[in-house]
Amino acid sequence: MPLLEAAGVSKIFGKLTALDGAALTVGENEFHGLIGPNGSGKSTLMKCIAGAEVPTQGKVSFINTDITAFTPTERARAGMSLKFQITSVLPSLTLYDNILLALQAQSSLLDLVFSRTRGLLHDQVMTMLTQFRLADRAFDPAAALSHGQQQWLEIAMALAGKPKLLLLDEPTGGMSLEERRVTGELLQPIKKHCSLVIVEHDLDFIRDICDRLTVLDQGKVLASGTVSEIQANKAVQEIYLRRA
Amino acid sequence: MPKSMGAVKQAIPAEIGGETDAVMGSSGAAAEAVAGRKILPIVEGVVLVAALLAPLVLQDYLTVFATRVIILALFALSFDLVWGYAGIMSFGQALFFGSAGYGVALLARDLDITNIFLVLPAGTIIGLTFALLLGGFLLLGRHPSSVIFVSLGTLTGSYAADRLARGWYYLGGQNGIPSIAPMTLGGYEFSEGPPFYYLVLGILVVVYLLCRFLVRSQFGLALAGLRENEQRIAFFGYKVQHLKAIIFAIGGAVAGLAGSLYAFHEGFVWPNMVGVVVSTQVVLYVLFGGSGTLIGAVIGAVIVEGVSFWLSDNYRDIWPIILGLLLLLVILFRPLGLISFVLGERERVGSFGAKIKEKRDAAP
């Protein structure tokens, strides 16, 4: 049974059909890349999975539960996590507090009011920050980080709740080559406990870290398969050549 | 809410050089945050000492005025919790203040209940209940409601309550309820003057400390997330609507407590007390003093009321215009309020993890 299954997902904005019966299946501990030309519906599909948009048609299942109508909060509690395309770290809070905020989301109200989990979560906060190479900046406000570091912080925040599935929308957008390489390294270890759906323009990056790829074109699935299958696919080569 | 990073740059000496400083001027801020809060406790201490000494130096009629101001400062705290910490724009805070005032006035008039241990909890519960009802309606939906919806909803609630009070004979109509019996404790009657002043000041200090505890707890961190990016924290799994309804209700309870004190102190309640004018007044206190600091709300209430008092004495006809201009100037040039003259952005936001870090570092 796959971890995530989206089937026949359509999304219509007024006259624009952003998605037209798209599908996506992701297994456990699988890194799945979602690629396609601009406007092919990658981000919209991502949003339908994350709950930021409600599909006009179709169904999204997660761990055998139909979550199509779940709110983002309900999805998060079910084990799904999202990193937005636009970085949305909380700029005036420190890095430490950004991570703590993500970690303590599961704490009960009384625990929060009496700060009962603050001590317990301290080590986890520092571990996350160390893992993402941000520990020495723990008490800087997030606004002071470089763009690439903000993206890492956000990935760390998205992973804080130990999700089963992480959705990453263009994690390397605006990053330098070196930062991209590090991002790839940072993502590798999470494979042990988490699946990944990743939307990304950088095909080299996708090829390096993903197990399977789904190619979207004009809101439809053009092809889906392992990285080598997709690379050999004629139709895929064509759309990329056509737009290049 | 405007988030001026400019204020940060000004307030922070460049202790640590390097590229990060060039980017945001923030390493100094981080050092400040780790070292803990510095300026805020000083400001709080100064305000407390001034408040404790006030009746000793003020003439009697000014002590009465100062008591009223302290009650309004308590009311301002309620708005700061809701807006300054949770980012909920409540333009109807007087609804909770005034309905509690009317509630305790009715208890005194119709049931002869004036015991302080009955009327103050009653007023608090009235404020809490109304806030739960209105907040439940405005804030608890499957999806978070917009700022505009909430501000118009609370404004409408306050306006409707004002109209209702004016038209309802039982509540005294336009005249309100006059000559409320004094609040009592056993055989003692709290009349205007130093004892009432110190009672109110004591209550303010206790409520202030409770609020301070709350906003610096992990719950306070959740509120900071709510204020900064509500959608983001919903994706973490926070029940955003519940958080909002809770803080809104707490704000209502504090406003209710203030309202019941106000009713007994003034000796009467009237429709304005639930209306838009008082609702707006409390917004001004907090914006003027500086939101999201608690002490800023207190300072705002004291200064706005103090300045109006002085102006109305000396410029009988044009004082509202002068006051209006002053408020505009502050809001235009000091969007973070008067407190931002001494308080940097980093310290205002605070660091929720710094304390635990210090503890760990101190341990062997």
pLDDT tens across A10-22, in order?
999 988 889 998 9
Rounded mean pLDDT, B139-168: 87
Q: Collect all residues of chain B within an 8 Å Cβ-Cβ radius of residue A101.
A: 221-222, 224-225, 233, 236
How far is residue B39's CA from residue B37's CA, in Å, rounded to a whole number?
Answer: 6
pLDDT at B35: 46
Residue in A with minimal Cα distance to B215 = A113
What is the pLDDT, as a whole number, of residue A237?
82
Q: Which amino acid is at A217?
A: D
| The pairing of beta strand A165-169 with beta strand A195-199 | parallel
Q: How many CA atoms lie within 13 A of A151 on its CB side?
A: 20
The pairing of beta strand A31-35 with beta strand A195-199: parallel
Helix B60-79 to helix B39-57 angle, to the nearest 10 degrees?
Answer: 150
Q: Which residue of A has its CA nearest to B31?
A: A139
Q: Check CB contact under 8 Å for B30 and A94.
A: yes
pLDDT at A98 over 80: yes
Q: What pLDDT score does B30 carry?
A: 43
The shortest CB-CB distance from A118 to any of B218, B233, B238 is to B218
* Chain B environment of A96 (Cβ under 8 Å): 351-354, 357
- Of the candidates B27, B229, B235, the beta carbon closest to that of A90 is on B229
Query: B72, exposed or middle or buried, with CB in 10 Å at 0-12, 13-18, 19+?
Result: buried
**Test mutation, B235, B357, B359, chain A, max A CBs within 10 A:** B235
Element (H, E) at B23: helix B19-24
Question: Per-residue pLDDT averaged across B243-270, rounded?
Answer: 94
DSSP structure string for B41-62: HHHHHHHHHHHHHHHHHS-HHH
pLDDT at B37: 61
- Residues from chain A that touch B229, judged by Cβ atoms under 8 A, are 88, 90
B225 vs A90, A117, A138: nearest CB: A90
Q: How far apart are CA A208 and CA A105, in angstroms?
A: 32
In angstroms, rounded to a whole number, what is the distance separating the alpha carbons of residues A180 and A205? Answer: 7
The count of C-alpha atoms lying within 13 angstroms of the C-alpha of A60, restricted to the half-sphere facing its C-beta, is: 24
Confirm if B239 and A73 have CB atoms less than 8 A apart: yes
**Across A20-24, B254-258, B278-282, which has the greatest mean pLDDT?**
B254-258
DSSP B275: S
Tokens coding B206: 């206790």
Distance of CA B270 to the CA centre of its chain: 21
Dist. CA A132–CA A143, nearest whole Å: 17
Q: What chain A residue is nearest to B223 in terms of C-alpha separation?
A: A101
pTM of the model: 0.84
CB contact under 8 A, B225 and A73: no
Task: Output the pLDDT for position B293.
Answer: 92
pLDDT-derived band of residue B65, with 50, 70 and 90 as boundaries? very high
pLDDT at A54 over 80: yes
Cβ-defined contact of A140 to B26 (cutoff 8 Å): yes
Q: How far apart are CA A142 and CA A153, in angstroms?
A: 8
Structure confidence at residue B364 as a pLDDT band (50, 70, 90): low
Q: What pLDDT is attached to residue A15?
A: 87
Nearest C-alpha of chain A: how many angstroms from B34? 7
B121-137 per-position pLDDT tens digit:
999 999 999 999 999 88
Q: Which pLDDT score, from 0 to 100, does residue B2 have? A: 43
In this complex, the residue of A102, A114, A141 whose CB is nearest that of residue B236 is: A102
> Averaged over B322-341, what is the pLDDT?
86
Q: ipTM more than 0.85?
A: no
A-chain CB neighbours of B214 within 8 Å are 113
Q: Which chain B residue's Cα is nearest to A147?
A: B23
Interchain proximity B142–A105, CB inside 8 Å: no
pLDDT recorded at residue A85: 67
Whether residue B27 is predicted with pLDDT greater than 80 in this model: the reply is: no
Q: B13 falls in which pLDDT band (50, 70, 90)?
A: very low
pLDDT of B120 over the 50 cut = yes
